[in-house]
Amino acid sequence: MNAMKYKGYTARMDFDAEDNILVGKILDIEDVIVFHAESVHEFQTAFHTAIDDYIAACEKLNQKPEKPASGRLMLRINPQVHAAAFRKAAHESQSLNKWAEKVIEQATRI
């Protein structure tokens, strides 16, 4: 996958052979942001403009722009739960991070 990053957002770049253009889509957010360009340079400019316009539109609507998740999660939990999770992860020969990721992924499947 070809991708670019700007202000914490990632755009996927696909080539549309029928229209002979590059099509961009912002990844990892629920809001749909798409754009297109005829060259990589134009793609980068269109990407930056799309993000800047999205942020400005959110401000105008008094909404926070959606941000992609960073992959870091800080939790404060009961020490007994923490210890039990640590033991369960060790029992499955996994780090606590990998074990917690697996459990959260299973719990969030729709």
Confidence band, pLDDT 50/70/90 cuts, at residue 72: confident
Return the structure tokens found at 37: 């360009």
| Residue 32 pLDDT exceeds 90 | yes
**Amino acid 71: pLDDT:** 83
Among 109, 110, 85, CA closest to 99: 85
33 has pLDDT over 80: yes
Q: Is pLDDT above 70 for 3? A: yes
Strands laid side by side in the 34-37 sheet:
2-6, 9-16, 21-26, 34-37
**CA 8/CA 67 separation, integer angstroms:** 7
Considering the chain, what is the average pLDDT of its residues?
A: 94
